[in-house]
Structure 1
Amino acid sequence: MIGTASTGFIVRQADSHNRTAGAHRARRTSPRAEFRPDVEGLRAVAVLAVIVFHAGTPGVSGGFVGVDVFFVISGFLITGMLWREMAATGTIALARFYGNRARRLLPAASIVLVATAVGAATLLPPLQAREVLGDGIASALYAGNYRLALHGTDYLAADTPPSPFQHYWSLGVEEQFYLLWPALIIGIAWFAHRRRKTRIDASPAPYLLVLAVVAVASFAVSLAWTRTLPSWAFFALPARAWELAVGGIVALSVPVWRRLPAPLATVAGWIGLILIVLSCLHLDGRTPYPGTAALLPVLGVALIVAAGCAAPELGVGRALSLAPLRALGRLSYSWYLWHWPVLLLAPSLVGHRLGTVGTVGAVAMSGGLAMLTLWLVEDPIRFAAPLRRSARRSLACGGGVTAVAVCVGLALLLLVPAPVGRGAAASALTVTAAPPPPPSESVDPLDAAVQQLTTQVQSAVAASAELRSVPSNLSPSLADAPADKAAVFENGCVRSWLDVGQAECASGDPHSASTVALVGDSHAAMWSPAFEQVAEQRHWRLETMSKVTCPLLELPISSPYLGREYTECVQWRHQILARLQAEHPRLIVLSMSRRYGGDFGFTTYDQAWIESLSRLTTQLRATGANVLVLGPVPDPHTTVPTCLSDHLDDATACAPPRADAVNDAGIAAEQAATIAAGGQYADLTALFCTPSRCPLITSNNLMYRDDNHLTVAYAEALEPIVAALADRALARP
């Protein structure tokens, strides 16, 4: 590993004379190891783009490309440094290289990491704090980018708040690059030496060829993953290596760029800056990224750096070399580390969302912290003579501060225990079906059964509406709630973003001739625990057909998670409709979220939504099935377990007013459209809300596992009502 070799890889030469002569020739032909003030100024452009973007500045919707700028700069500087060492000496001193990187990066990163972990443990709700501390430990080990990539594939976690450690993903990419890049250079040198059976020469051609191959392969991965695995494309090194390789290619071809005529270099530099600025202004969160869009900032940086090789004192190089920009460039690393956690934790500190003045203040505060970190940590450790003279001490320093950061994260996890309700144990919610009323011309017994069961739940909801202390026997517990998913979310029955088709997902009595289809997005799937119990009791075959963020309604749809048109949803809809037409279920239960809007391309409850629901109900009725449309569950407007973990003694602080959680007019419009099209509609609001409030706990049941999906426990508690609704829907033509 890193610390085992003090001299690194050595390419053996024929004799010491040849080694010395080769070194002199390499020094004459290799790129000069000179300081680039324009590159230092370019760092300022990168960090300003990121900070302005994270601060929510209007018009700078693509400031995230600042990270791409950093990647190209790193590729340029590190590749140039490694190549010069290899060409000059035939060796890369790995311990010294890694020691320098550790001394340069790890102390500041660890200081900010520890401070952020302490702030998160102090200021955030306990449940969120524990998740964030896990992010911190992963970030300390420079694996946070893969944790984020995995997290991004979990659609049930897609709406969780960003982590104050999220920006460490780019450091993870760079650290992984630092680990692999020297090995790549060494491998090229070894292979070239074996083929020529002679010393390493000063030609960069083999290195350029390999870097070009790496760049092409990585770019191909980036293009493929941007469409199919967007979170992996954004966070993972394989999809980002091409940006670092582009910087390396520029570094290895410096002699070519030095021959550019000054006027041409000046124009190229300004074009490069324009490309970066255009990226900041015209890209946004809806842009599939990195993909082809990342070519703009990457090529922009390459042009600026290449132009600076020929005419650093002219054009954009002269502008970037101005003292203020260079000062910001020196500050860029620490400022990048501090700005994001300060922006995210400041609202919890002040007790409200930051306005414009507050945001400016948070950015300024992070800049002040960055200056202190630069003066007191970065520079003193980076330039400390005892560390600079000893690779072993530098590595020990980096390893030590990393170990401290990990240990602090682990200790805080112990100090922030999983939240547990402190209130008195509550009774379980028991809903009991009463004997059917005597026949009456004025009262439909099926309606009476639904009403009688609903009244029982209403009473329990009303009794819990003013609940203060979270019950000690809450089911599921706050800590367990995020994982309280119905089985269909785990076994492939719920299709993810990129999936099409629908395998057989039969439950209840799979061999029954009576089929009930539960169809829709994840809000259909969250009712499956209740419907599965009913299907077992009634000996129905229950088919669950569900796809995430994909309502069956025929509406144009985009996916904000994929950043493009949601073609998989359109294809899945057609497949499901064809299957329903072929299988002729007795009852089709339709359910979907009502939180669509904005980036999805349509808005819940608007005229297009209502008309589409009417058309779909007509289509489904044409299969010969009865159709039951389930109304929405109230929107809690918060991640329920997290909020309650911060209000264990006042659960009402998290419960939204009914007027905010329920759209009564929209529900009425849906109901009218469904009935007019021959379907039946179940308004579920009474199962969740009083006339004034929608509590989040009923009896001892936690109602939501996140910010919109029901817990399995509450869905199962409502099974008698689900059964009555299904019976009524089946009994009516």
Structure 2
Amino acid sequence: MLSHISVQISIFSRRPAGISDDPSFGMPLLHTWSLAVEEQYYLIWPMIMLLAFHFSGTRHTEGFMRRRALWVLGAMFATSLALSIGTTKDHQSFAFFLLPARIWEFAIGGMVGLAGSIFYARLRRWAEVLAVAGLALIAYSVVALDHSTPFPGWAAIFPVLGTVFLIAGMTADEDGVVRRMLSFKPMVFIGLLSYSWYLWHWPLLSLYRIYNLGFQDVAANAVIIVLALVLAWLTYVLIENPIRIRRPGPFRSVRPTLFAGLGIALLTVSMGSGLKAWRDYQKTLEVNQPIVKARNDYAPLRGTCVFNANKPLGELPFEKCIHGSGKGVPKVLLWGDSHADHVMPALIEAYPDVAVYQLTMAGCPPVIGFELKIPPVSKFCTEFNRQVLLKIDELKKDGLTGVVISARWPIYLWRRAIAVAEEKPSLAGDPQKMAQARIEMQSSFDETLTMLERAGLRVLVLAPNPEMIYSPPLCIGMRRGEHCNVPRSIIEALVNDPTETLAEVVSRHSNVRLAQVMEFFCDAIASCDPHPLRRGTSCRWP
């Protein structure tokens, strides 16, 4: 049962939290994935070694077994590291959360443990250099690696190798300076509490961030870290040490200990099931129905007609991305990024008798020749836009009359997003970046509109949507007040310049109109009428 739980934890941890949300936001037990992966390794390692020894004859000396284990660990290390590096870029959740791409870290730790005294005796003259290099690599990892670093992959080698060097150096020379430094009582004290500290710190940080609607408060986080250390000390004194040393009550012998562990596991599962049942019950209450519906309210064609900018394109879908009467002959094409997908329900509601064809790609502005420089890089955006233009030429012959263009324009122009739970590029808001992006965007967008004008198509460009600081359903569910509103001045600071950028280009084309969509919203508040807006932090049709 415990192994099943560990597998489920690691698989559940891979689920993305949302399109624009911090994946860790709202997951207080996310850190248990590492424990799950560790337990899975402990389950498979004995079986791997039994198989390795089974096919190697009957004479198993200690030296032979050590060498065989090192060979097996080395093979696991090389294979898993290659898998980690190969999958981090395009399948980061797999590379980060699941055992096959992380087992190399356990394997190299096992190799360090099995290296033997002769090996470390040979390293003695280099011991201090290795230990210092290990500390340097660990320090570098702490400072240099951040949320924008593709991880694990190549980046994980630095902290892992640093740990290997540090352990090897301190093992080879027990009287070295680094070992003596790390043997100071405060350092040992932190080491003794580190496991409990790890278990406490993330739930506390995550729960506070949920309460704070995703906002990161550095001062509060520092207080929480200290609180987690205090709780770790209490756990160590009141739970860990008594069980490990005095072995009270059911922990006096092996069998009662196993039954006690099973009972604790069953209690934990029961508590989790009870909390889930309570959450499901809350969803059924009439007062919460608008919020529940808003959290699960997606545009109808999102799963089919919003492409991933980092996955290779096939042939563009046709009939399944058309809504309205006369499905075979679309009259209007909706072209843009995932924000254009938000527009589709409004078009369906406003023009039920008009066939509207949706072609959208997340993170890809509908602008020919505009090179996207904001991470994550959209590898297939250029190819997608090229295919859309070819499709427009094809559809024009069959009766296509207009194109609706929509995108999250401020982000492509290096404006800094206001949503608290959204990752922001470090250079977002830089005046030089914004000025350069404005020039490039206007030039490329002018070329795009010229192509559509030559095709004889009418074009409607939607100006930027207002955006929210907090996720409206989450904020309304937890605050239910004016706290969720966003002053119009903040919205205008975000969208006014991008709107002017678009307006200057639109004014050069007689067949193009710019729609100021911001005026249709309730002064950018999170609840209108009083139905909350759809999931996410961008205002959309209520």
- TM-score range (shorter-chain normalised) is 0.7 to 0.9
- Give the secondary-structure state (helix, strand or coil) at the position aligned to 2:230: helix
Contact 2:410 2:464 in 1 (8 A): no
Contact 1:558 1:601 in 2 (8 A): no
Task: Quickly say closer, same or farther: Cα 1:329–1:524, change in 2 above 3 A.
Answer: same
Structure 1 partner of 2:30: 166
- Give the secondary-structure state (helix, strand or coil) at the position aligned to 2:195: helix
Structure 1 partner of 2:513: 680
Letter paired with 2:505? A
Letter paired with 1:552? P
- Give the secondary-structure state (helix, strand or coil) at the position aligned to 2:358: strand
Deviation per CA, 1:618-661: give whole Å up to 9, x if none. 3333333221111222212111111111234x3x3322222223
- Give the secondary-structure state (helix, strand or coil) at the position aligned to 2:459: strand
Task: Quickly say closer, same or farther: Cα 1:687–1:382, change in 2 above 3 A.
Answer: same
Letter paired with 2:182? L
- Give the secondary-structure state (helix, strand or coil) at the position aligned to 1:151: coil
- Is 1:187 aligned to 2:51, yes or no? yes
Percentage of identical aligned residues: 27
Structure 2 partner of 1:590: 405
- Give the secondary-structure state (helix, strand or coil) at the position aligned to 2:464: coil
Contact 1:555 1:602 in 2 (8 A): no
- Give the secondary-structure state (helix, strand or coil) at the position aligned to 2:388: helix
Structure 2 partner of 1:524: 340
Task: Quickly say closer, same or farther: Cα 1:236–1:259, change in 2 above 3 A.
Answer: same
Q: In structure 2, what is the Cα distance between the partners aligned to 1:589 and 1:288?
A: 35
Aligned-residue RMSD, C-alpha: 3.2
- Give the secondary-structure state (helix, strand or coil) at the position aligned to 1:371: helix
Structure 2 partner of 1:73: none
- Is 1:618 aligned to 2:482, yes or no? no
Letter paired with 2:527? I
Alignment of 1:438-587 (within 5 A): 477-491=290-304, 493-501=305-313, 502-504=316-318, 505-509=321-325, 512-532=328-348, 536-538=352-354, 540=355, 542-553=356-367, 554-557=369-372, 560=375, 565-584=377-396, 585-587=400-402
- Is 1:599 aligned to 2:425, yes or no? yes
Q: In structure 1, what is the Cα distance between the partners aligned to 2:322 and 2:209?
A: 47
Task: Quickly say closer, same or farther: Cα 1:595–1:408, change in 2 above 3 A.
Answer: farther
Give ranges in structure 1 of 5+ residues lacking alignment. Answer: 3-97, 99-137, 423-471, 715-733
Deviation per CA, 1:435-474: give whole Å up to 9, x if none. xxxxxxxxxxxxxxxxxxxxxxxxxxxxxxxxxxxxx596
Structure 2 partner of 1:705: 535
Q: In structure 2, what is the Cα distance between the partners aligned to 1:331 and 1:300?
A: 22
Letter paired with 1:614? D
Contact 1:257 1:306 in 2 (8 A): no
Q: In structure 2, what is the Cα distance between the partners aligned to 1:556 and 1:256?
A: 57
- Give the secondary-structure state (helix, strand or coil) at the position aligned to 2:405: strand
Letter paired with 1:607? R
Quote how far apart the aligned CAs of 1:280 are: 1.4
Task: Quickly say closer, same or farther: Cα 1:600–1:615, change in 2 above 3 A.
Answer: farther
Q: In structure 1, what is the Cα distance between the partners aligned to 2:467 and 2:296?
A: 20
Quote how far apart the aligned CAs of 1:535 are: 6.1
- Give the secondary-structure state (helix, strand or coil) at the position aligned to 2:78: helix
- Is 1:143 aligned to 2:8, yes or no? yes
Task: Quickly say closer, same or farther: Cα 1:549–1:313, change in 2 above 3 A.
Answer: same
Contact 2:335 2:403 in 1 (8 A): yes
Q: In structure 2, what is the Cα distance between the partners aligned to 1:646 and 1:534?
A: 33
Contact 2:26 2:210 in 1 (8 A): no
Alignment of 1:230-309 (within 5 A): 230-309=92-171
Q: In structure 2, what is the Cα distance between the partners aligned to 1:225 and 1:710?
A: 35
Q: In structure 2, what is the Cα distance between the partners aligned to 1:353 and 1:547?
A: 28
Task: Quickly say closer, same or farther: Cα 1:577–1:397, change in 2 above 3 A.
Answer: farther
**More moved, 337-346 vs 593-602:** 593-602
Q: In structure 1, what is the Cα distance between the partners aligned to 2:438 and 2:465?
A: 21
The structure number with the bigger radius of gyration is: 1
- Give the secondary-structure state (helix, strand or coil) at the position aligned to 1:166: coil
Contact 2:25 2:210 in 1 (8 A): no
Task: Quickly say closer, same or farther: Cα 1:672–1:270, change in 2 above 3 A.
Answer: same
Task: Quickly say closer, same or farther: Cα 1:336–1:497, change in 2 above 3 A.
Answer: farther
Deviation per CA, 1:465-507: give whole Å up to 9, x if none. xxxxxxx596xx312322221221123x111243243332333
Q: In structure 2, what is the Cα distance between the partners aligned to 1:533 and 1:694?
A: 21
Task: Quickly say closer, same or farther: Cα 1:248–1:145, change in 2 above 3 A.
Answer: same
- Is 1:627 aligned to 2:459, yes or no? yes
Q: In structure 1, what is the Cα distance between the partners aligned to 2:100 and 2:262?
A: 26
Task: Quickly say closer, same or farther: Cα 1:363–1:511, change in 2 above 3 A.
Answer: closer
- Counterpart of 1:656 (choices 458, 476, 486) is 486
Contact 1:160 1:639 in 2 (8 A): no
Structure 2 partner of 1:726: none
Structure 2 partner of 1:720: none
Task: Quickly say closer, same or farther: Cα 1:274–1:514, change in 2 above 3 A.
Answer: closer
Task: Quickly say closer, same or farther: Cα 1:328–1:601, change in 2 above 3 A.
Answer: closer
Letter paired with 1:684? V
Letter paired with 1:593? R
Give ranges in structure 2 of 5+ residues lacking alignment. Answer: 415-423
Alignment of 1:10-29 (within 5 A): none
- Counterpart of 2:269 (choices 384, 391, 406) is 406
Deviation per CA, 1:506-541: give whole Å up to 9, x if none. 333465445421111111112223334566513x3x
Q: In structure 2, what is the Cα distance between the partners aligned to 1:577 and 1:164?
A: 45
Alignment of 1:302-341 (within 5 A): 302-341=164-203
**More moved, 399-408 vs 237-246:** 399-408
Quote how far apart the aligned CAs of 1:705 are: 2.1
Contact 1:308 1:317 in 2 (8 A): yes
Alignment of 1:193-208 (within 5 A): 196-199=57-60, 201-203=62-64, 204-208=66-70
Contact 1:419 1:645 in 2 (8 A): no
TM-score by length of 2: 0.84
What is the number of residues matched between the two proteins? 511
Task: Quickly say closer, same or farther: Cα 1:503–1:305, change in 2 above 3 A.
Answer: same
Quote how far apart the aligned CAs of 1:354 are: 7.3
Quote how far apart the aligned CAs of 1:296 are: 1.1
Q: In structure 1, what is the Cα distance between the partners aligned to 2:477 and 2:209?
A: 18
Q: In structure 2, what is the Cα distance between the partners aligned to 1:633 and 1:228?
A: 30
- Give the secondary-structure state (helix, strand or coil) at the position aligned to 2:486: coil
Deviation per CA, 1:95-150: give whole Å up to 9, x if none. xxx9xxxxxxxxxxxxxxxxxxxxxxxxxxxxxxxxxxxxxxx9x75633322212
Deviation per CA, 1:281-318: give whole Å up to 9, x if none. 22222111111111111111112222233212214233
Quote how far apart the aligned CAs of 1:374 are: 0.6
Q: In structure 2, what is the Cα distance between the partners aligned to 1:288 and 1:350?
A: 28
Quote how far apart the aligned CAs of 1:346 are: 4.3
Task: Quickly say closer, same or farther: Cα 1:572–1:293, change in 2 above 3 A.
Answer: same
Task: Quickly say closer, same or farther: Cα 1:284–1:677, change in 2 above 3 A.
Answer: farther
Q: In structure 2, what is the Cα distance between the partners aligned to 1:485 and 1:352?
A: 21
Quote how far apart the aligned CAs of 1:610 are: 4.4
Q: In structure 2, what is the Cα distance between the partners aligned to 1:515 and 1:298?
A: 57
Deviation per CA, 1:639-693: give whole Å up to 9, x if none. 1111111234x3x33222222234345424423322324421111122213xxx3
- Give the secondary-structure state (helix, strand or coil) at the position aligned to 1:643: helix
Task: Quickly say closer, same or farther: Cα 1:261–1:249, change in 2 above 3 A.
Answer: closer
Q: In structure 2, what is the Cα distance between the partners aligned to 1:350 and 1:494?
A: 31
Letter paired with 1:687? F
Letter paired with 1:547? M
Contact 2:6 2:35 in 1 (8 A): no
